[in-house]
Every structure is written in structure tokens, then in C-alpha cells.
Structure 1
Amino acid sequence: MKRTLLTLLCTLLCASSFADEGMWLPGLIRERIGDMRSKGFRLTAEDVYSVNRASMKDAVVSVGGFCTGEIVSDRGLLLTNHHCGYPAIQRLSSVDHDYLTHGFWALSDTEELPAEGLFVRILVRMEEVTDRLAAGETAAEIAAAAEREGTGYRAAVEPMYYGNQHFLFVYEQFDDVRLVGAPPSSIGKFGGDTDNWIWPRHTGDFS
């Protein structure tokens, strides 16, 4: 009996060591691409994530500096989470037009609602600047120089790997953001904030 249990336990431990799940950093996709392609994935690692060339990563944007979104059309339509669009939807709502409760859909360009104060940033490039900082440049100087490279550019130097490396992130900022569509809160916020971190989910969490 003990021998059987020990064999079973060893089998389970060995099986668990091959668990193929969880989240993977985009920069490490080259380590996974072989397995992905063996299961039918057709893109290359460079197609998905290239540091300074156009790739799938460029469809991912920063919304307001606090959320992410995905561009899904050549006209700039983007999707983000319902709770990310929530403040803008709330500001646009009124007693007569309660978009939070009832949702909103623009059926034409003229019906889109300007989301004042909300911006979207698209990553232009990133560059390691650890050596430049060590040589005496300041993060503010590096960011300011990068912002002068293009119209609407915003830049920031961020520490990575517990401060052992520093990277410059250069973004192009777009301030003309409009609300095109959002579901009613009964769909977009179904389950409340707690459900935002629990799976499986049943929420129409988009705007």
C-alpha cells in the first residue's frame, strides 16, 4: 500500500513539473514559440513581440496611463475594460442620459462622445539607458530629449529588475479619445469589482 502511494505521489510530482500554463513575459516568447507553433500557431516570435519593429505588441496601448487597451481597426477603434472606461462614461452621463446604467452605442461618427481628459499612448520605442545614467545623465534629461523627437511624444525612464537596469519608454500620445460604445453596468460590471479578479468570469467587461 505504501509503495503504491509513493509511486502515485512521484507520478503526480513528475506530471506537475511539466505544467504548461500561466502568464509569460512577451520578451520571453522565443522560449515558447516552438510549442505554440506545434499546436497550430502560425506567427513567429518576431511577429508577436519585436522590441523596435512593428509587431502584435503595437496593437496594445496605454489608456489614460492606468489601463491597457487593444486597437482593433485601422480607424483607431480600441477596446478596454469596462472599469477602465468607467470614469469617462460617468462624466459623460447625466440624469437624462445615464450611460452607466443603460449603456451607450454611437451608430455614426457624429454620435461619438468626446472623452475629455482621457488620452491613449502608443509605444514608439524602448531603449536601455542604464549606462547613460551611470555616465551622469539624469532620467529627466533623457526623457526630455526623447520627447523632442516627435509631435505628441511622451517619455519616461523606468527601473526594471529591482533597479538593476533602466529603460527609456517613448510613447506617442493621442488626446482625441471618444466614447463609441459601452454595455449597461448590469453587463459590464456584473459581479462587481471582486469578480474582476476571479475566473471563470461572466462579465461583458469592455468599453
Structure 2
Amino acid sequence: MKKFFVVLTIIGLIVILNGCNGENDIDNKAIDIEETNENNEDQKVNEEKTEDERIPSINFSLPDGKGNEVSLSDYLGKVVLLNFWGTWCPSCVDKIPLIEKMSKEYEEDIEILSINIQNLPQERSVEGVLEWLDSRGFDINVVFDMDGSISNSYYVQYLPTMYVIDREGYVLGYIPGGVDEGTFRQLMENIIQ
């Protein structure tokens, strides 16, 4: 688990400049960089924290644009990656093929839920996003944050941003910006162990 936090911290530092919306101002509770120091054996990681110290994820129900509502709580027992994105964001778009590939490769262990933020003025309509995905042959699990309340609840200010939710529904951390395949694969391997 310590490897996971080290990888997550490194990813965050590497990709901070790759996003679309400026700087990320996430509450420091999400990832405590001091806890990710692999060389400090005395420090504890999330799995060793008490219930009061762990950060619970914020549950939501969002439409998928096809008449269904998808809730985060539907995925309890599975690791969930919440990928906040927009079609207008070049870094977000560049990562869709990787997200698609990883979601198929790790489908037994994780669920990647791509949350399209609809209240941004540059974003397409729900129908427009679905058509855009279809026209490019993308097959990702997408839901729509219509009023931005979910992205606000998760303090998303930088796109893409990915949150990692553990099997019990607690936030393990977040990744601002995009990642390359090698880093993504290493992250997945650390998560599912």
C-alpha cells in the first residue's frame, strides 16, 4: 500500500502541468505527502488508519445520458477511479484511449467512471458528448455532472482529475492531470494488490 501512495504522489507531481483548468486546490486531507514517504517506516497509510481518520468518498447519483442513474455506492466492494473530464480539454481527450484500454484490462478489479462536467460553458450538451464519443469510437463508462455539484464536492479545479476510491468507499487519493500508460499500469497493479 505504501508503494501506491508513493506512485500517486509522483504522478501528481509529474502531471500537475498537464491539465486544463489551472491549479488544483484539493483539501490536504485527500493525500498527506508525508504519509507517502516510503523510507519512513513509522508512518501509517490509509489501511492502518482508524475510521475517524479515513476520508469517506462523497456518494452521488448521476445520469448516464441514456435514461439510467449511476451511483457511486453501486460499486462498493470494487476499487473505483473517478475521472473528471471535459471534451474541450486536450489532456482529457488524450487520455480517453488509455482509460478505455485500462478499464477493459482491469475490469475484474476496478471500475473507471468518467464524470463529464456539464456546467462549464465550453462543454457540449449531454447528447453532444455522447455523439462526440460515438463518432470517435470511444467506449467509456460516462456519467454527467449536470450542475457541477459533484466536481465541486470533490474540489475539482484541474482537468483531468482522477480520484481513487477503495473497496470500502474511502478516498485513497487523487491525481491531477493525465498519466502515461506505464504509470497508469503501475498504479493499477499497486491498487489491486
TM-score with structure 2 setting the length: 0.24
Q: Which has the higher contact order (CA 8 A, sep 6+)?
A: 2
Larger radius of gyration: 1
Higher share of residues assigned strand: 1
- Alignment TM-score, normalising by the size of structure 1: 0.23
